[in-house]
Amino acid sequence: MGVPRSKVRTIFALALTGGIAVPPRRGREIYFGRNRTDVHVCLGEDDPKVSRRHGTLTHRDDQWWVGNLGKLPIRLADQRLLFPGEEEIPLLEGYTPIFLRGSRKREHLLELYVTGPDGAKPIPKHEDHTQPPRTWRLQANERLALIVLGQRYLSHEPYPQPLAWRQTYEQLAELQPTEGWTPRKVEHLVASVRDRLSRAGVSGLLREEVGEPVGNSLNHNLIQELMFSTTLVPRDLALLEDLD
């Protein structure tokens, strides 16, 4: 998003068909949605799942807020859903993408940027070296157990879930019959990895963070972190074939 130097708290809203820049003023409202003639930013104009006026950006209390006027929820980048009739959500300084789910699995993107105290845009870093992801160090037995546990994710299955402890143990025992694998050993090993990553700052890996019932949440969050960080990648499944 191209953002020129602007007054502090100026908001920039950009969609596929165009955008708008609005300086802060109490009570100022920006509408976005499908009906081009009735909104400031047109979003999903060919998609009847998007409401004609789907949402607002409102300035009050020296801050911009996003609200939902449509029929379907608005999704923020942290996976939070803002439903119609719910209280508006404040926008932080800097970049915020929001998404509207449309027809045929489409998602419509609205990019928002609120300028900070210096009113400056982000500094381009075209020639900077790409920062590598932070990968996590795993012992060989941890890596193998987690590949087995998360193989549905690595295989790109739709709506994957971690294997159960017994399923994981049975496959590990078949791959390494002399290593003394048991369901409890697998559970303790994976729990130690979760605890180690949690102490390093990864959220969603502790029972007290996700609440009851826990179900598969802790292992799901662990596998997601390992994949997003590229600690585990689909080609790691080859290890199971090599050991088989």
Structure tokens at 38: 């009735």
Residues 71, 6: Cα–Cα separation, whole Å: 34
Higher pLDDT, 243 or 191: 191
Share of the chain above pLDDT 70, in %: 95
Q: Average pLDDT, stretch 47-58?
A: 96
Residues 183, 170: Cα–Cα separation, whole Å: 8
| Enclosing H/E stretch for 99 | strand 94-101
Q: Average pLDDT, stretch 190-197?
A: 97
Least confident of 3-12, 28-37, 132-141, 212-221: 3-12
Residues 208, 211: Cα–Cα separation, whole Å: 5
Amino acid, res. 170: E
Model pTM score: 0.80
SS3 content of the chain, % helix, strand, coil (to 5): 30, 20, 50
Strand partners, 205: none
Residue 156's CB: how many other CB atoms inside 10 A? 8
Does residue 2 have a pLDDT over 70?
A: no
The pLDDT value recorded for residue 144 is 97
In tens, the pLDDT along 142-189 reads 999 999 999 999 999 999 999 999 999 999 999 999 999 999 999 999
The pLDDT value recorded for residue 98 is 95
Nearest 5°: CA angle at 192, between 188 and 194?
Answer: 115
Query: What stretches of 23-69 adopt beta strand conformation (E)?
Result: 29-33, 41-42, 55-60, 63-68
For 207-244, b/e burial (b = at least 16 CB within 10 A) is eeebeeeeeebbbbbbbebbbebebbeeebbeebeeee
Does residue 119 have a pLDDT over 70?
A: no
The pLDDT value recorded for residue 122 is 66
In tens, the pLDDT along 204-232 reads 999 999 888 888 999 999 999 999 999 99
Q: Average pLDDT, stretch 74-80?
A: 87
Does residue 73 have a pLDDT over 60?
A: yes
Average pLDDT score over the chain: 92
Does residue 237 have a pLDDT over 80?
A: yes
The pLDDT value recorded for residue 243 is 82
Share of the chain above pLDDT 90, in %: 78
The pLDDT value recorded for residue 6 is 63
Give the chain's radius of gyration (CA, Å): 23
Backbone angles phi, psi at 106, to 5 degrees: -75, 150
Does residue 242 have a pLDDT over 90?
A: no
Residues 187, 119: Cα–Cα separation, whole Å: 51
Measured between alpha carbons, how far is residue 123 from residues 1, 117, 129 in Å? 12, 15, 15
Does residue 4 have a pLDDT over 60?
A: no
Does 133 sit behind a cis peptide bond, omega within 30 degrees of 0 on the bond before it?
no
Higher pLDDT, 91 or 2: 91
Residue 54 burial (C-beta neighbours within 10 Å; 0-12, 13-18, 19+):
buried
Does residue 5 have a pLDDT over 60?
A: no
Strand partners, 29: 58
